[in-house]
Amino acid sequence: MLRIQDLVYHAGGHALLDHASLAIARGERVGLVGRNGSGKTTLLRLIASALAPDGGTIEVPRSWRVGMLAQDAPSGPDSLIDTVLAADTERTQLLAEAETATDPHHIAEVHERLAAIDAASAPARAARILAGLGFDEAAQNGPCAALSGGWRMRVALAALLFTAPDVLLLDEPTNHLDLEATLWLEGFLRSYPGTLILVSHDRDLLNAVPRRIVHLEAGRLVSYQGNYDRFVRTRAERIQRQAALHARQTAERRRIQAFVDRFRAKATKARQAQSRLKALARMAEVPPPVIEAPPSFAFPPPAALAPPLLALDGVSVGYDGRTILRDLDLRLDMDDRIALLGPNGNGKTTFMRLLAGRLAPLSGEVRRSRKLNVGYFAQDQADELDLTATPLALMARAMPQANETAVRAHLGRFGFGERHAELEIARLSGGEKARLLFALMTRDAPQVLLLDEPTNHLDVETREALVAALNDYPGAVVLVTHDPHVVALTAERLWLVGDGTVQPFDGDLDDYRRLVSERARMTTSPARTDDTAPARPSRRERRRAEAEARAALAPLRRAARKAEARIEALTHEKAALEARLADPEIYQEGGGREVQALQKRLAEVVRALAAAEEEWLEAQSAIEAGPASEGAPGSRTGSGSQTAGRAR
């Protein structure tokens, strides 16, 4: 059991943790919640021994391994799969010793330990995790250095999940994920066998994974059974009960004090007054509930413009002459609420930059209303803030024609009171910096809000405030977010970014989740949906088409299952051979022939296992490509049969 007892930690003269205590049993899945800046990340770093407490203790069983996501993303020439495999330092060291060791007893110990940690299946496990997080086979074999920072953080997450620590500490693991990878991670964490402490602002993830919610509030840790929605209800009921008890006690104190004040001077009542004074002193005080002021958002209302605000006619867009998106025929009106769907890397940010006017089209025409004003929230804007300035000074620069009263009023729309408006930006939390960016992008009351992952650093309460503000906003909204809760509450239309274009999606978010989940089950990697047909099919037609696609992919799935069964059988045989070779008795006199036979069979099994894994990966790639893919193992086409034969 992990025990936290009377933990104290100070930062900047403020007690983030003030005699906090908590016990977490082996195998528990716990969600850690609290306002931005309350100390959640600090607590995880204390558990991981990256920080030392000022007081109290954290007791972790000596045999437990604690794993937390590294702050530095992996880079360099190593491939993704090698980077993930190298994260298991014990396996890497054992494999090196197996190649260089000469002492028979040590060789036996090494092989025994390799079998115990199931080292043989490590490449397949690493590949499945990377696939779930959005990396196909080609990407897995490419270098980390070729990836952007967000994608390299996915590799870091894959490496952490692959090591399967006894205590898994996850701090906002979905920040760099798209909806498809988030859904995969949700399923992975729900079946995680170890102890999990999850910090997340994704309400759906907090509802699906944890069995207990721990609330960090005013330096203390308060535990609630159940998921996040149950926590919200239970906490509201507790606050209501505490407020009622506090009110009753306050009324009783006033009544007793009034009696004492009235009769203390009277000889006949003096004894009673004295008795009630003692009762008042003995009364255990019920403190008023701690209720933090909810965050606030209020986007300034824009001037109305005639439709369309913006129209795309046959537009293609890309970089350096290379087309990313093509054949865009879309329009935006004042009442549009649109969420963009599709895996990362398909062009969502490129499309947002086109709408914002930051990227010129390669061909086609973009028509904008003459008085159109666009507010654009980009993922990397926080890196461009002047950290030495204050929000008030930065906003004054952005609004040179406005007086200080108007500047402060606009900051106040986004929760910046007098104190926070004059605080150095470097001292603001991630959520506060995000709110400052909202203030900056809306200073001219834009008719269109383009929000590219605006929720990454917002806590749950602030996300709810953002949802309310967007629903009150009278202009158009185009939103990219991995938080399905925000999409469900704000978006009225869905556009799918995929296959090099952007098309309206005929369905709601639940339809899209089902589509993603179905394809994830078939391919173990994020789906790429084809929504480019000129005529949009009905829901019934789409379901029929999906059923036909599943039937067409059935031979491929059978080939994959057969390959997986062979992998499992060969892995068991390999483990048995390694265990026999690890037995010191076999190296005694007279065992030379048996050792040679076992080593020969082990080499055959290793080759067969590699071939089976290659066949499985080939089958999965063919499934991902779809039923029309040529050269797929197990397919009924000639080329497919040849490919399957080569794999065998």
76 touches 175 (CB < 8 A): no
Paired with 225 in beta bridges are 212
| DSSP percent split of the chain into helix, strand, coil, nearest 5 | 50, 20, 35
Q: What is the pLDDT of residue 384?
A: 74
- Give ∠ CA 588-590-592 in degrees, rounded to 5: 85
Torsion-angle region of 322 (φ positive above 0: left; ψ -120 to 50: alpha; else: beta): beta
550 to 117, 229, 553, 558, 632: CA distances (angstroms): 36, 35, 5, 12, 15
Cα(496)–Cα(407) distance, rounded to whole angstroms? Answer: 38
Question: CA–CA distance from 416 to each of 32, 167, 438, 442, 502 (Å)?
Answer: 26, 38, 12, 15, 37
* 307-372+447-527 under CATH 3.40.50.300, yes or no: yes
Q: Which pLDDT score is estimated for 542? A: 54
Q: Give 587's DSSP letter.
A: G
Please, what are the averages of pLDDT over each run of 10 residues along the chain (648 residues)? 92 86 94 87 93 93 88 82 89 85 83 84 90 88 85 91 93 86 90 93 91 92 93 86 82 81 68 75 72 75 92 93 92 93 88 93 93 89 80 91 91 86 84 88 94 85 88 93 88 91 87 76 46 45 56 66 71 74 67 77 84 79 58 37 33
Q: What are phi and psi of 150, to 5 degrees?
A: -65, -40
The number of angstroms, rounded, from the C-alpha of 71 to the middle of its chain's C-alpha atoms is 15
User: Comparing C-alpha atoms, which of 119, 116, 139, 117 is closest to residue 127?
Assistant: 139
pLDDT at 643: 33
Tokens of 180: 């498809």
Domain boundaries, the chain: 72-163, 232-282, 307-372+447-527, 386-443, 553-647
pLDDT, residue 535, reads 47
With CA atoms as reference, report the closest residue to 370 among 300, 303, 449, 442.
303
Q: Which two tokens stand for residue 240?
A: 């209501």
Q: Which residues pair with 411 in a beta bridge?
A: none
- The pLDDT of residue 603: 83
Decide if 614 contacts 647 (C-beta within 8 A): yes
Q: 124 — phi, psi (to 5°)?
A: -65, -40
pLDDT (0 to 100) of residue 244: 83
Is 469 within 8 Å of 415 (Cβ atoms)?
no
The side-by-side arrangement of strands in the sheet containing 2-11 is 14-24, 2-11, 55-59
Displacement of CA 503 from its chain's centroid (Å): 26
Do 11 and 437 contact (CB within 8 A), yes or no?
Answer: no
Report the relative pairing of strands 501-504 and 493-498 from DSSP bridges. Answer: antiparallel
CA 414 from chain centre, in angstroms, equals: 25
Residue among 528, 561, 526, 453 nearest 185 (CA): 526
**Residue 316's closest CA among 346, 359, 370?**
359
- The answer for 621, left when phi > 0, alpha when psi is -120 to 50, beta otherwise, is alpha
Half-sphere exposure (CA, 13 Å, Cβ side) for 2? Answer: 23
